[in-house]
Amino acid sequence: MNITKPTALDAWKSALHHIMNKGSDFQDHDGRTCREVLNLSVTIQHPDVGIEDPIDTIRKINKWIYPSKDELVNIIFNQYDLPVYDYTYGSRIFGYQEVFDQINDYIIPLLKQHPNSRRATVITIDPIKDLKLSNRNVPGLVSLHCKVDDGKLLLTAVIRSNDYFIGWPANIHQLAALQQYLAEALELRVGELMTYSISAHVFKEYEEDIQQVLDE
């Protein structure tokens, strides 16, 4: 399923509606009932407009302590592991295995030298750390893919497991900040931002809250 919308809020609501109406229910490893659709791609045409709206919508429900927008951005750009989290994407993106900055030492130089390159890929999963049967905290975001098209920087994120109600708004806010950083470094405009979710799901206990969002 492919969803393309002009703004993050439109895309989020369309994805939630699709999952609620077309998804199948199952129980995950933690015994929580989920409703899931497979292989959902969502494209935001203008991620530089209203990218914070899904987070603001969740905050209006006033049931969860959601990280601040500044904190979310700091996490994605921080090259060091943070002790309060099992893992952070920033440390894997900007300090992979504590030795390699995938953005500043690879993606930006690559696209400056070869703007049409298809090799501008960032990996956020570490097989040595993550791929253990005993590990229950495998990163959801697996990889990032950058492409230059018509003077714009496009960003695609591949997410193996995506909580679309609580998790996706934070994900998309962080990804948009990273896309903006790349576009400025490469002197490009911001293009489309896409998430490809292998498992796009919501949790049963949030059904009433999701319906409230969809009814607004």
Per-residue pLDDT, 84: 67
**Contact (CB, 8 A) for 188 and 148:** yes
Per-residue pLDDT, 40: 98
Statement: the pTM of the whole predicted model exceeds 0.85: yes
What are the structure tokens assigned to 76, written together? Answer: 């994605």
**Contact (CB, 8 A) for 79 and 95:** yes
- Non-local (6+) Cβ contacts of 101 within 8 A are 79, 94, 95
Per-residue pLDDT, 88: 87
* Pairing verdict, β 189-203 and 152-163: parallel
HSE of 89, CA atoms in CB hemisphere, 13 A: 24
| pLDDT tens over the chain, length 216 residues | 999 999 999 999 999 999 999 999 999 888 899 999 999 999 999 999 999 999 999 999 878 788 899 999 999 999 987 776 767 899 999 999 989 999 999 999 999 999 999 999 999 999 998 998 888 888 999 999 999 999 999 999 999 999 999 999 999 999 999 999 999 999 999 999 999 999 999 999 999 999 999 998
Report the distance separating Cα 43 and Cα 172, nearest Å.
Answer: 11
* Segments forming the whole domain that contains residue 42: 2-215
Q: Is the dihedral of CA 101, 106, 112, 115 positive or negative?
A: negative
Per-residue pLDDT, 64: 78
> How many structural domains is the chain composed of?
1
Query: What CATH number should be reported for the domain holding residue 17?
Result: 3.30.572.10
Per-residue pLDDT, 63: 81
Report the distance separating Cα 16 and Cα 22, nearest Å.
Answer: 10
Q: For residue 85, give the DSSP letter.
A: S
Report the distance separating Cα 15 and Cα 212, nearest Å.
Answer: 15
Report the distance separating Cα 153 and Cα 187, nearest Å.
Answer: 9
Report the distance separating Cα 168 and Cα 176, nearest Å.
Answer: 12
Q: Give the H or E element holding residue 80.
A: none
Place of tokens 């609580």: 166
**Contact (CB, 8 A) for 79 and 40:** no
Report the distance separating Cα 144 and Cα 75, nearest Å.
Answer: 16
Taking the CA atoms of residue 55, residue 178, residue 200 and residue 2 in that order, the dihedral angle to the nearest 10 degrees is 110
